[in-house]
Amino acid sequence: MTAVVAERRDDAWARLGWVMGAVWLFFWIFPLTYVWSSDLDLTFQLTATGLILTFCAVYIQTLRATNLHVVTEDYLRARRTGVAGLVALIALGLVLARMLGPNSMTAGPFIVSLPVFFLPWRQMWVVCLGLLAAIFVGSAIAWTWWPNLLLWAICLAVLSLSVVSRYVDEKQDAQRTTEARVALTEQREQVARDVHDVLGHSLTVVAMKTELAKRLVDTDPERAKHELAEVQDLSRQALAEIRATVGGLRVARLTEEVEAARMACAGAGIDVTFPADLSVVDPRHRITMAWVLREAVTNVVRHSRARRCDVELGSDWITVTDDGRGLQGRREGNGLGGLRERVQQAGGRLYLGAGPDGHGTRLEVRL
């Protein structure tokens, strides 16, 4: 069951919308008044009253059942239930027409409008207009057209209102479905960005440190063991971050990302500088700044072949500059694309270009 169907099933208005249709059964008070104020015998009065009450009960049950089936998108059962109820109402309407004459025309609006709630649009138009025409022609032949003119207008008005109500309801459902799909897509993209940012950084550092340990295993075994121990710690940390990301609990922290960036650059042999005071960053922007720092340093370590990296921070901006080989016409990857989306969602802009002297790369984000 889709989220939208579940939402509609739990929506009291969707489940009890049939009540609004049942309210109009009040108009049967006029035929009942005619029955009990006439000089007809008691048997006739009781029979007519029983038929009217049966008509109302069948109408309410059919409307309620078809509404519930439509809400849960069980359209086949809705059609079967609706057709059975419609046939029963037509039969009751014909019997009442025989007994009450023009006073039975109260059944017309209910019969004409019922198919609106369970048939597909094309079939609905055919059935509703066919029933409307049959009522017009049959009543005009049986009782002439003048006494029925007002009831014909009521039939047409009720049918029109029912069609408009269904149209509006389906438009609202379509909007809810679209919003749910957009929300799901955004959630998937968010998880994809988070997983990329976490794994991209961690695996880059792990690759650097395992390569370094491989070179040191013969010349400096103790240093190699130290690097492998850090690889083990990084792997555990990455696993914990992935679990937190999937659970929606992952939040990047600026101080932690600074330390992680320092470690990553050291493992790659890159000299990195940071501002001494991180408190200059506006607390509202620290999470976004942390994600920017993680992705930027990961790209420096992975792609730049730089020897130096400078990180500068302000209250609402960050720059990461390296002296590496530069962009060289390369297109943005998924990491930078996801970072750009993250920055835009925070109300900022990301700028990427060459360093101050035309060499290396400079990434700047302003919020």
| Residue 201 within any structural domain of the chain | no
Asked whether residue 296 falls in the same domain as residue 173, the answer is no
Asked whether residue 175 falls in the same domain as residue 263, the answer is no
Share above pLDDT 70 across residues of the chain, in percent, rounded to a whole number: 85
Q: Rounded to 5 degrees, what are φ and ψ at 103?
A: -65, -20
Asked whether residue 167 falls in the same domain as residue 258, the answer is no
**What pTM did the predictor assign?**
0.53
Asked whether residue 261 falls in the same domain as residue 173, the answer is no
pLDDT tens-place string over residues 269-315: 899 999 888 888 888 888 888 889 988 988 888 888 889 999 999 98
| Residue 280 within any structural domain of the chain | yes
How many other C-beta atoms lie within 10 A of the C-beta of residue 254?
Answer: 23
Decide: 163 and 116 in contact? Cβ < 8 Å: yes
Decide: 196 and 338 in contact? Cβ < 8 Å: yes
Domain enclosing residue 147, as ranges: 3-181
Secondary structure of residue 127 in the 3-state scheme: helix
| Residue 297 within any structural domain of the chain | yes
Decide: 349 and 340 in contact? Cβ < 8 Å: no
Domain with 351 in it: what CATH number? 3.30.565.10
Decide: 72 and 35 in contact? Cβ < 8 Å: no
Asked whether residue 11 falls in the same domain as residue 133, the answer is yes
Asked whether residue 30 falls in the same domain as residue 129, the answer is yes
Cα–Cα dist 354/327, whole Å: 7
Tokens of 98: 């025989």
Q: Is 347 left (phi over 0), alpha (psi -120 to 50) or beta?
A: left
| Residue 215 within any structural domain of the chain | no
Cα–Cα dist 135/59, whole Å: 18
pLDDT tens-place string over residues 52-65: 999 999 998 998 88
The position carrying tokens 């500068």 is 312
Q: 94: which residues sit within 8 A by CB, 6+ positions away? A: none
pLDDT tens-place string over residues 175-218: 877 887 777 677 677 666 666 666 666 677 777 778 777 888 77
| Residue 249 within any structural domain of the chain | no
Asked whether residue 139 falls in the same domain as residue 28, the answer is yes
| Residue 61 within any structural domain of the chain | yes
- Confidence bin at 19 (pLDDT 50/70/90): low
Decide: 318 and 342 in contact? Cβ < 8 Å: no
User: Per mean pLDDT, which range of 10-24, 46-60, 108-122 is the poorest?
Assistant: 10-24
**Domain finish residue from 181, 205, 239:** 181
Number of domains, the chain = 2
How many other C-beta atoms lie within 10 A of the C-beta of residue 166?
Answer: 16
Tokens of 338: 């996801």
Asked whether residue 173 falls in the same domain as residue 263, the answer is no
Asked whether residue 29 falls in the same domain as residue 150, the answer is yes
Asked whether residue 261 falls in the same domain as residue 171, the answer is no
pLDDT at 13 over 60: no
Asked whether residue 270 falls in the same domain as residue 134, the answer is no
Asked whether residue 273 falls in the same domain as residue 363, the answer is yes
Q: What is the DSSP string of 19-76?
A: HHHHHGGGGGHHHHHHHHHSS--HHHHHHHHHHHHHHHHHHHHHHHHHHHHHHTT-HH
**Domain finish residue from 154, 181, 208:** 181
Distances (CA, A) of 285 to 119, 214, 280, 321, 365: 54, 39, 11, 20, 11
Give me the helices (H) in the chain, please.
3-10, 12-15, 18-23, 29-37, 42-71, 75-100, 107-113, 121-143, 149-216, 221-246, 254-267, 286-299, 334-345
**Domain finish residue from 121, 155, 181:** 181
Cα–Cα dist 68/12, whole Å: 11
pLDDT given for residue 200 in this prediction: 66
| Residue 231 within any structural domain of the chain | no
Strand partners, 353: 362
- Confidence bin at 132 (pLDDT 50/70/90): very high
Cα–Cα dist 315/365, whole Å: 11
For residue 43, which of 52, 35, 55 has the smallest C-alpha distance? 35
| Residue 225 within any structural domain of the chain | no
pLDDT given for residue 4 in this prediction: 44
Classify residue 345 as exposed, middle or buried by CB count within 10 Å of its CB (0-12, 13-18, 19+).
exposed
Amino acid found at 317: W
User: HSE of 129 in the Cβ direction (CA atoms, 13 Å)?
Assistant: 6
